[in-house]
Structure 1
Amino acid sequence: MPDPRARRGIRYPWAALLTAAAAAVLAGAASVTAIGEWVADAPQRILALLGFRPDPLTGLVHPPHATTVRLVLASADGDALDRAIGDFLQERKAPAPSSGRKVIAVDGKTLRGTRTANRPATALIAAMTHSGEVLAQRQIDGKSNEIPAFVPLLNGIDLTDALITADALHTQHDHAAYLHERGAHCLAVVKRNHPGLHERIRRHPWREIRLDHAERARAHHRNEIRRLKTAASAHIDYPHARQALQVVRWRRDLGTGKLTIERIYLVTSLPPGAADGSELAAWIRGHWRIENQLDHVRDRTFHADASHIRTRHLPRVMAGPRNLAIGVHRQDGHTNIAAALRRTARDHLRPLTTLGLA
């Protein structure tokens, strides 16, 4: 991480300040004020492990003021911070089984609390494994959308034999060609924003195609049936596409009795036989769960949407430590992130142990 501060007057090491902020967020700090309070309450041993230097006269380690923490985070390079966090999570994660495939979801998020009368809300795009770790994140240009950020987002990730899932916005010919060049596969939703492709897939003789997977579920006060069919095709007007998919979802509300039927179409570059119906269905559901695994946790647990931080790079930078906390706790087997944060907050040493500093 580059240090943007002028050399004159530097009292605290740059790495120590960023590490302290990350440790505080791991312990549940949801704001810059809370980060400053966590650092101020840290014992001498913890401050030394974080990298703060003792006073040469007294031998005591003085914690930085909350204002110092705020200024440091506001001046940090958000993209560089996210790259460092993504590299850390990839190195920390245990190797996946040789039979498993890396599955990465690409999705965008708008920080609604950052909107002002003169400036649009800060928008981010993230690449996240289906198990819940954010591997990369970038800020979206305020005058553009997620599409131009797709390639720069994935450039720093090893995509060899990975499967990238994305919503209809990223069902772009250039994206499919890029993933093929990187040795990756795609699984993308097709909607009416691509009318020709959507109509061609919709007109497949789906009634005559055998069922590949079906399942029933009951959640959120409704019964749901999901059915998946796949059709191998060499004539899909999408680069390197090998199969078209249809998902039909029946949902019945248990309170009103209302029945809703939804048909969703997708394309994938995976050849027939590379994955069975249950795997494809799990990957499709896994992409839809990204809102629960990342966006919902950031909004409800860290109150990201309620935050009105707007100073310089702070809205962008604060998303990085939150992703780190969510990713690390998920890697450690915690499914309830709020409970994991409370547990970590009960001992100042626990965040450092989690980060490998103690």
Structure 2
Amino acid sequence: MKRVGVIGGGQLAWMMADAARKLGVELVVQTPSEGDPAVSIAQEIVFAPVDDASATEILAKKCDVITFENEFVNLDALSVLAEQGVCFRPRLEALTPLLDKYDQRCYLRDLGLPVPRFFAVEQTENLKSKIEHLGFPVVLKSRRHGYDGQGTFIIQDLAALEEKLSYETITKTLNQSLFLLEEFVPFERELAVMAARSVDGEIVTYPVVETQQKQQVCRQVIAPAEITPNQVAQIEAIAHTLLNSLQVVGIFGIELFLTTDGKVLVNEIAPRTHNSGHFSLDACETSQFEQQLRAVCGLPLGNPSLQCAGAVMVNLLGYENSHSDYQSQRQQIAEIPQAHVHWYGKTQSRPGRKLGHVTVLLDNQNREQAMAAPTPLANAVAQTIESIWYPS
């Protein structure tokens, strides 16, 4: 039986549980808190922050291979373990160009992949002269540790930019070199694709999905996205180029923009399972979590195809500071036909926190409607869920 070490014990690790049982894999998790979701499903726990490499050394002695639930790790320290023979999948060299968002942008650009225009914010530079070719609004991003909209700011003019940089620098004792600026893309829609690569170099891609954000946090995912076959082919080619270049073993999430003139741009890369792939738990023959375990254990990759006409996934986000388990709302949502509710077991709610998600399958009962107009149907389903979940 394989023992897989997982750095990170949040809901992404928790959702590996069913796949681990199916594949006969034991999970050993490194996570800081007894209240973290994956604590309830792991065979063994190493209680420590995910960037504690000494704890990862202990984790390595308990398992055959180590994978990642999140990327907020200390690569330099982990590299010492890799040199000692610890097997990380994906390999650390695949993570190196991705963890800093400026480095990631440069890597994608140098691969010839389409990205928004961008530059690093340096402490001594004249912002005004350098920003002229982007024009306002612009997007300011923290280069490290930003997720779910954290560390991302849409800036309308130079005065607001200088004020934001000054505020962030003073309040967080950072320097400006920890930011990048990129053009604001007036996209038609946001897209994402999950792609996995095996030890043998086999690559499979999941259906391209549309993601819908509110306040820069993903609220809904529609599978499949309503785009042209040519756009699907472009996105699959991007996935193949990226995963082969990095020699990835594992699964990656690739977030993209579809511009108003039909062009595809790469937005960001998540080197792990991802929110935009949660629909696969209920809608696909092989979930993204099973695919990750298959890849890192050296097993053949599974079929990523949809088993239904389509699906809509809605995140159940916190909207208040509370210790409620929202049992009444969850029960109402569960009564929606073809609804699958996944509750992460977190004990505290706060605004924006991911507490769970629900996927509704668009199956043969509404196949014709789903095939004819997948986005309006999915939007109607999502609106029903949100009307139950969020206070009016």
Tell me whether the two structures share a fold, i.e. TM-score over 0.5. no
Instruction: Decide which structure has greater strand share.
Output: 2
**TM-score of Structure 1 vs Structure 2, range by shorter chain:** under 0.3
Asked which structure has the greater CA Rg, the reply is 1
For CA contacts below 8 A with separation 6 or more, give which structure has more relative contact order: 1
TM-score by length of 2: 0.21
Structure with greater helix share of residues: 1
